[in-house]
Chain A
Amino acid sequence: MNFLQFMMANRQQVLDLTLEHITLAGVATLFAALVGIPLGILITRVPQLSKPVLGGANIIQTIPSLALFGFLLPAPWIGERAGRLAILALALYALLPLIRNTYAGIRSVDPAVVDAGRAMGLTDRQLLFQVELPLASGVIVAGVRIATVVSIGLATIAAAIGAGGLGEFIFRGLAMVNNQVILAGAVPAALLALFADFVLGRLERRLGSLHSKS
């Protein structure tokens, strides 16, 4: 039985696991964005916090992913639900690119433009929402793109703690020493990542050209 025949024979399961995978990675990226983007904004306002926040997110990034899933497993308030645990772990990994890009994006806005805005009497909130965030949006979306692609890749490991997703095929294939089964998980996961990268890349370019319309 070759790879394509295996996919066709198990199409219902491939579809279910793909949807589960999208949910894991999507919800994790969403949570990470809800925390990471405000944190990135915060550290442009309170510069003393930028080192500890970026450093903390960096440290999380250095923990081997399998180990992080394992560490979180005994936590009583999430341990019983592997799905929630996997989302938490994925969100932690996705934090760094989101915080870093939000911070870098806002910092890269031309200081002359920010100064002009402040001198015209914009409040800090108006400056943020009308000037800094729109001009940083391309760089922030680039962070969302990296976070999404990383989450889709890492979500395959969620199967190790029983959270489902396309990793199920990969771990099953490893156990069965069957390449077809491994590929049934790996190929759709790779395609998902490429698709997300493509769509967010287009959005990023559109936002990036927002301030150089010609």
Chain B
Amino acid sequence: MTAPPSHASTLEVPAIEFDHASFRLNGRALLHDLVLSVKQGETLVLLGRSGSGKTTTLKLINRLLLPTSGQVRVNGQVTAEWDPIRLRRSIGYVIQDGGLFPHFTVERNIALVPRIENWPRERVEARVRELLATVGLNADLASRYPSQLSGGQRQRVGVARALAADPPILILDEPFGALDPITRSEMQKEFRTLQQRMRKAVIFVTHDLREALLLGDRIALMEEGRLIVDLPVAELSRSQDPLVRAYVEAFSALPNS
């Protein structure tokens, strides 16, 4: 007699799962046979150089792209079978410099998804106030336009917009890449605190090892469209992989680190 499936295993459908997913464009493999999964509450950092396939990986999650072979599953369902609009509204997306709509005020930018989801007005307004506080922005900024904000403020608005409808999954594409070092460090610390509270499934793309170590539970290192290693943060320094060593050594060469 076989053992009944344990209760825990049925609950543990990964939030995001790449099942031998590849993506080819004009005969070139941008992503090759990716196997990777992220559980609810976990932060995976995708680390790699420009052109290593990190952004392609993100676009496969919210179905901006479909894999040319293999599958990507979100909450257990294959992305090709999801309604793309429903899928995307359940995934918060943050990009460099916020990607804010320049003709919308801060308030309308944050309220984007709640509004198109037809939330009642009072609920939208309350949510915007709550989110401004969550990302550490003064409520007076609500009526400003993105061009009237500093880079750090725009990035905070970008994070608030992604969180607006409380999506279970958050994907971030080098969100802090354009910020000055001090603001970046502040944002990283705040994001870590936020994630400890929210426990979402997070994929965070960066090429900065320091950021990866600070924010990730696991680090997936990519190179030329392939996953090189996928390790818990603590094991990174012990890895013998030459590419990992190259990263760690470049990092240790920094003064005061």
Known: A126-B116, A213-B147, A213-B148. A118 touches B88 (CB 8 A): yes
> Which of A50-58, A89-97, A109-117, A150-158 has 4 or more CB atoms under 8 Å from chain B?
A109-117
Q: Is the pair B103, A116 in contact by a Cβ cutoff of 8 Å?
A: no
Known: A120-B93, A211-B102, A213-B145. A115 touches B64 (CB 8 A): yes
User: Inside 8 A of B145's CB, which chain A residues have their CB?
Assistant: 211, 213
One of B85, B101, B113, B161 near A113 (C-beta < 8 A): B101
Q: What's the interface size class on A, roughly?
A: 20 to 34
- The docked-state distance in angstroms from the alpha carbon of A130 to that of B103 is 9
Q: Is the pair B102, A116 in contact by a Cβ cutoff of 8 Å?
A: no
Residue B151 is within 8 A (CB to CB) of chain A in the complex? no
User: Inside 8 A of A214's CB, which chain B residues have their CB?
Assistant: 147-148
Residue count of chain B within 8 Å CB distance of chain A? 24
Residue B62 is within 8 A (CB to CB) of chain A in the complex? yes
- The docked-state distance in angstroms from the alpha carbon of A119 to that of B116 is 13
Chain A residue with Cβ nearest B103: A211
User: Inside 8 A of B116's CB, which chain A residues have their CB?
Assistant: 121-122, 126
Interface residues of A (CB under 8 A from B): 110, 112-113, 115-123, 126, 130-131, 134-135, 210-214
Q: Nearest 8 A-B pairs (CB), nearest first? A: A116-B99, A121-B88, A121-B89, A211-B102, A119-B93, A211-B103, A213-B145, A121-B85
**20 A-B pairs whose Cβ atoms sit less than 8 Å apart in the complex:** A110-B102, A112-B97, A116-B93, A117-B101, A118-B88, A119-B88, A120-B89, A120-B93, A120-B161, A121-B84, A121-B89, A122-B112, A211-B102, A211-B103, A211-B145, A211-B147, A213-B145, A213-B147, A213-B148, A214-B147
